[in-house]
Structure 1
């Protein structure tokens, strides 16, 4: 009898959360809606308390590998640095981090590789927090800026870095053009993003369309590009100086979706200290995370990485 009550109670809570989740989306409207979403996520410290200073997926060399989620995120940065060839640039090279979050990747690029890094985000609260967390301000600094309107001259940077920013950007071609424009000839481009499967080859059925729509409206995404589509955006840019290489890293990153939920159970006290409202907000994200995990496991979504020489 006691177990029936417990399961009924849990079921009611999940039902209430599901209704709340379906009714209150974060649909993309403009760059301002992206900025507002990230301002809110930064101010409540929920993502930072859950996942640390890196708001991106982790890297797992083997399926079901036991690894601390926060370490996996750090490992991801180093893996992308080496895969892209960014590590071959000399110390002191100027690097632009597009969509820098609260600066986790930028600090690694500066502290571990000796680069002079500028991170940009559309969110003023992210930039404020990134500056608060950064001690090496001479070689790692942050500015509020729109990725589609970079306030830098052509060929300013030796390297351009962007992780999981593309889904929030409406004009994928302009996004590619701006990053390549500010990259000097011979510089290194390193990008990682969530991508949908190629819609020109595979149609989505009714259920898949529902899932993909929820993945857009729950986290302020205007649309997802495919790996093939964004590779073509880079190749078609007037600033593309050489070939572009892309790869699918889904098998190395998919475990992150499970781990992102487990972190809340591993570290519940910091979340509880944020208050009841934020605690409920943490549960609100679970359906979207589970749908992301399902979409990546079914091939609807893929984790694409891209590299090029300017």
Structure 2
């Protein structure tokens, strides 16, 4: 009988259906013995009490608030080490999990445990530069960040893009919904997105995600927050999904794969990393300047057959090559 490697899995939210649960499912599918450890920082034991505590203490006493965070951080490290001693893993796999401190990771390595992190951001996140040198293997979804870190002498860092959740997507293929939204985006407003998407103000634009959209010039297009199946349904009901990545970097994000896998046409800003994964004008459409975006959107809204052909080709590519399990 082949040995089953034991993996202790943790994440910012190890029970998140959007990403962490599919990773957990994929590990089990591949034959690993997996145990989860919730290392989320919860100063009062829950997110609700955390928010209440932040209101009560942070604005009134930074000393008390910082003291509370340190105590909570200590309990988080203790929880991880207790889980390790109980489960005795071969591998410690973290998805971001920036709450797990450097000292704790070093303790795991001293126990002979292989430490791995899939940190789905780039060097614009301060934690990346702190954690990358510590883990045995550090994966990020931005090729530019990989090159920067390697230039700093950190050799254990690798490019690993996102993937889509295979099982829910397969179930959705046979349940086609009417595509009632011309243009959709789900995510957080940042200046470059506000600028690019502002060129589409004359279209049927629909924005979901962070309530911060209500503080922008695009507030009238904001439709609310969506999660899980709601998110999938938005993509399944959208003709075109637009995307805009961080300007400094060469990254992919989860939105690329989830939108395409749900049968929408993705029109994205050009990123070489994304162009290596999908064939331009056959599986994905790129814009290289925001001035191109309105013309591309207008063209593919008017040419439904061509839009559908590219969207279906992209969907087939995702399911064949870019799932969490693959």
- Would you call these one fold, judging by a TM-score over 0.5? no
Q: Which has the higher helix share?
A: 1
Q: How does the TM-score come out when normalised to structure 2?
A: 0.27
Q: How does the TM-score come out when normalised to structure 1?
A: 0.28
Query: Which of these two proteins has the greater Rg computed from alpha carbons?
Result: 2
Using CA pairs under 8 Å that are at least 6 residues apart, name the structure with larger relative contact order, 1 or 2. 1
